[in-house]
Amino acid sequence: MWLNTLLLALRSIRRNLLRSFLTILGIVIGVSAVITMVTLGNGATLAVQTQIAGLGSNLLMVRPGQHQGHGGSGGGGGIPSFKEADAQAIQAELGGIAAVAPEGRTSVTVVGNGRNWITTVTGSTNAWFTTGNWTLAAGRTFEEAEQLAGGAVCILGETVRREIYGGAVGTNGLGEPLRIKQFSCEVIGILAAKGQAAMGSDQDDTVLVPLHTLQRRVTGNQQVATLLVSMQDDTDSTRLKASLIQLLRERRRLTETDDDNFNVLDTQQLAETLSGTTQIMTTLLGAVAAVSLLVGGIGIMNIMLVSVTERTREIGLRLAIGALEREVLLQFLIEAVVLAALGGLIGIVIATGASIVLAGVMGVPYLFNPTINLLSFLFSAGIGVLFGFFPARRAARMDPIEALRHE
């Protein structure tokens, strides 16, 4: 009986293909919109997490700046920068530290191979590689003597290497001279490419030199703009952050009534916050798109009512020759469910193609989510049951005699 009823439903749908397609169009749009929004949202969340993880593992970024709140005002006027000794004190006095890298930065024009390029010159120690999850594509890191003496050596980011020396990734530039401001340095390494950062900046557009080299040959001062503190994996970040703040307050001679004149950014908390925000937006967009499913359900109910009216004599004939009410009810209910489920399948196919294309355009990974695809299909079938029941019940409860008299 189930097979015969299904065949009757398919035959009725095929009899009016254009009308059937227009009927399920709302379901198609709803399912495809929901799946596409959720898939792109999940991809965006993963992209944010990956980009922030690229900044460093369990990283605390400490920068000078007036603390916001408690009467403090933003801005950096008159606020002292850090010193290299601050990084050494953090490494020596706090537990759970994997590495601490003092970092200074400035924007200059570098010249080499007959070309020039405006980039960021970063000064730090070899701990910078640990704090920022950096690896070398070629060459070596700084030697101890080069760090202490401020040697004329440098390591290039992939963007700078490509713009100055050209060629394939990590193959050119090693051992070549590069002029930074007024001095020339030897390229001893090439950084492995990382790509765009979470804020849209190019992480590979940098030249790394020893911190003392930056201070003595480029900026001419002993200031350190940022302290990069990498925590060990099993470290309680909240407790370590509190200890770090207390240590820096002591070193910067702040009293109990003074606001912090530095800011500590926890990249792990930043990743969780941004991921939570993108997930909320994904849920909101998915819910808005799901409204189309309800609109599609109304369309199915409308066309099923029209179908019942058109087939009144057929229904009366079936009831007159012995068909049970539940059999008529089941026939029209299955027809509504088949329509809705077919719309769901088409919507899944369209959503898959759209998600792949849009993920490439947006630069986020495509993540196939079987759960949302299955739920969307089941929901669309449920829409068919919900909105198809009333027309099916109306057909099943017809008076056979009145139905046979219908013109």
243 with 250: CB under 8 angstroms? no
To 10 degrees, what angle do helices 17-53 and 325-362 make?
40
CA distance 128 to 229: 9
**Neighbouring-strand partners of residue 110:** 117, 180
CA distance 359 to 97: 38
Predicted local confidence at residue 75, as pLDDT:
43
For residue 24, count other CB atoms closer than 10 A to its CB. 27
Q: Is the pLDDT of residue 214 over 80?
A: yes
Predicted local confidence at residue 147, as pLDDT:
92
**What is the DSSP code (8-state) at residue 51?**
H
Q: What are 9-37's pLDDT values in tens digits?
A: 677 777 777 777 777 788 888 888 888 88
Q: How far out from the chain centre does Cα 131 lie?
A: 22
- In this structure, the strands spanning 183-191 and 177-180 are antiparallel
Q: What is the DSSP string of 146-198?
A: HHHHT-SEEEE-HHHHHHHH-SSTTTS-TT-EEEETTEEEEEEEEEPP--B-T
Choose between 401 and 245: higher pLDDT.
245
CA distance 210 to 144: 10
pLDDT band at 70 (very low <50, low <70, confident <90, very high): very low
Q: What are 303-345's pLDDT values in tens digits?
A: 777 777 766 777 677 777 777 777 777 777 888 888 888 888 9
Question: And the tokens for 65?
Answer: 């700046």
**pTM greater than 0.95 (yes/no):** no
Q: Is the pLDDT of residue 198 over 70?
A: no
Q: What are 156-182's pLDDT values in tens digits?
A: 999 999 899 886 554 578 888 999 988
Q: What are 222-263's pLDDT values in tens digits?
A: 889 899 998 887 777 788 888 999 999 888 888 888 888 888
Q: What is the DSSP string of 8-35?
A: HHHHHHHHTHHHHHHHHHHHHHHHHHHH
